[in-house]
Structure 1
Amino acid sequence: MAGETETPHQISLFRSQITTRRFNDESLQILESLLVFKDVKSQAETRSDLKQFLRFESLSIFQEIKYKTVYQKLSILQFFVRAFALIGDTESCLALKYEALLFRDVKSTSDQSLHVSYLEWLNFAQNLLDQGFYSIATQACEKALACFQKKDVADAKTGDFIENARVIEDIKRLKDRAMKSAASGSIQAQAAEYLKRKIVEKTRISSSFRTETKSAASTLFRNGIKKRHARELRKHQNKENALPFHSIKRTSSVCRRERLLFWRLLRALCQRVSLAKRDSFMNTCIKP
């Protein structure tokens, strides 16, 4: 509970430090204490809020410091570089660091204490490469190479040509990596865009094909049903037309059987009558 009540107070305190333009170590310590959370969700939300706050405030502050001295400007730039690094805003951190290095490089013509060494440019280029900012890394490598070549000319009397050649080779190798990565990223982006476009086209064609197929299938199905109904109707009609013929045929057959039976019965009756008459006649003849 104590941590929950302290956090809003610390956030308010840090905001107050920035709005009152106190760009010092105390403000950075307050910021660092804000990012100590056991709850990952709370930490992510706090980082997001602080990122938006610092980005918004930095725009106003950089407009305000244009009349300050070179060292004051660099001090404020360095403060925001560290602040953005603490909250995990890598993009803003590297962008401001690049601005600070360029600012020093420009001002070093009149103040050698602001000179940017080739190692600073080289380390910065490596950081950019690791974070995926390949185009800026290429520019940083070019700065490192130009800076070292100036140093090489100035130190030509030392005669350490092998070491100088090795450093130049390292810078060029890093630059080549950055350029290849940038080209690869561009190709991958183009490939991804191409694949996305092809998928959309394929989906559209497939959808159209399914619609046409569905329509054709529906038509065939309906036609099949109609044909089936027509066949059933013809079959039924043929059956009805054939029914009287079968009835007549059946009636004629029954009549013939009945007539045949009648004549058989009549014949049998006649035979019995004839036999009866014959027996009567025989009996008459036999009597004395």
Structure 2
Amino acid sequence: MRKQLEYIIVMFFISTIWIPAGFPQTQNIASINNMIDDAVNKAVESLINVDSKIKTVAIWSIEASSESPIDVASIDKKFTRALIKADNFSRFTVIDGTVLQMRASELNLEFSKVIDRSKMIEIGKALDIDAFLYGSAALGDEEIILNLNLVDTQTGALIWLDEIRGQDPVLIARREQEAKEAQIALQREEAAKRLKSRVDATLRSLLLPGLGQLYTENNSRGITYFFIEGIAWIIFLQDVISDQDGNGNTTETGIRIQRNIGLGLIGINHIISAIDGGLSAHSYNKQLKSKYNLSLELHKSTKQLLLTYRYHF
């Protein structure tokens, strides 16, 4: 029983080490296959534009370095299927590698994947193949590079060649999504810095009407409070009103009433502007929170303004 338990523990640790290490490789192979699909489709889109006399084609060889994780047999199969399907199954007749070797063997023709145009001409004429496709495959930076050539079996001349770069659409979409999320996060961070304190806006407007509104970027209302404040101070400081004595001199009672009116307007303007400043800050923050999905809360213990980001992608 003890030995069985020790065996289970050992196998558990081995699995925790080896199994996770296998997943990146699996994902990498899947990504390479997506790159191959993309490159093959691009190549076939270009190949259908070659001379319309080229009907029957065969893949001579697609080579890759021995250290490369590229499955060249998979490329051959994907090319065969894609060429057959080209232009709604009407563009090419494809001789796959197995049939090519079998028919060459039946005719006692030596077939080798070494690039030899004279052999291509010989086998092509014997098997009624119009052109041979050959090339190489290599992995680049998040892409696969196919260097392809098409040889006319009548003349041995190159009638088409291209460097095709295939990418993984899934990987590209993921990178675009990550970039989008990073951009949104940056916008939220910038928006968070722009949030306004209601207390600060209130105190600013209490000190000078309109200042809190300018702080919350409500410029039109800020200018309005500035204008009212100026009118109120003019009334407060002006010594001439309609209540005059017979000699045209302002009475003390008139001056007192005028200054009381001015002082009252100043006080009312300060109070209303202070209240409006706090409301402007609240409205400003509400718009930012709605636009960038921010949550604003006041921590109960420290009474500090905290920003909490809620990410919904």
Normalization by structure 2: what TM-score?
A: 0.24
TM-score, structure 1 normalization = 0.26
Which one has the bigger helix percentage?
1
Higher-Rg member (1/2): 1
Higher relative contact order (CA 8 A, sep 6+): 2
